[in-house]
């Protein structure tokens, strides 16, 4: 856009007082074109450009740090009960990327 033209949502203005718009990067969201990009919070991720919100990580995945583009699949032998925290090892080390550890 030219000077004086506002940036659309999903973009951010890169120079104060000018309309140099840059598309919001993965791992961030840009709900306000006049503001800075916001990191996706733990438990959320965004793998696309130009988003105005991040997606909640589905069951069996996690994002334990801010700014991730992708949710991480719970590894075998671990339990993922909270999408915002790192997985915990199962006592038996028999889980296969599940949200509960097997009782066998």
More confident residue, 17 or 42: 42
CATH number belonging to domain 1-73: 2.10.50
CB 22 within 8 A of CB 35: no
The pLDDT score that the predictor gives to residue 2 is: 45
Residue spans of the domains in the chain: they are 1-73
More confident residue, 44 or 6: 44
The pLDDT score that the predictor gives to residue 56 is: 97
Q: What is the mean pLDDT of residues 4-30?
A: 79
Q: How high is the mean pLDDT of the chain? A: 83
- Reduce the DSSP state of residue 88 to 3 states and report it: strand
25: closest CA among 35, 10, 5, 14?
Answer: 10
Residue 61 to residue 5: CA distance in whole angstroms = 40
pLDDT at 32 over 70: yes
Direct distance between the N- and C-terminal alpha carbons of the chain, in angstroms, rounded to an integer: 62
pTM, whole model, 2 decimals? 0.77
More confident residue, 40 or 22: 40
């Amino acid at each position: 856009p030219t000077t004086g033209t506002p940036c659309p949502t999903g973009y951010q203005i890169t120079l104060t007082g000018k309309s140099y718009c840059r598309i919001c990067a993965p791992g961030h969201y840009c709900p306000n074109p006049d503001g800075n990009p916001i990191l996706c919070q733990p438990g959320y991720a965004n793998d696309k450009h130009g988003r105005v919100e991040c997606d909640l990580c589905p069951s069996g995945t996690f994002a334990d740090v801010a700014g991730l583009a992708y949710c991480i699949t719970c590894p075998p032998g671990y339990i993922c009960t909270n999408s915002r925290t790192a997985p915990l090892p199962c006592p038996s080390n028999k889980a296969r990327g599940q949200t509960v550890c097997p009782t066998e």
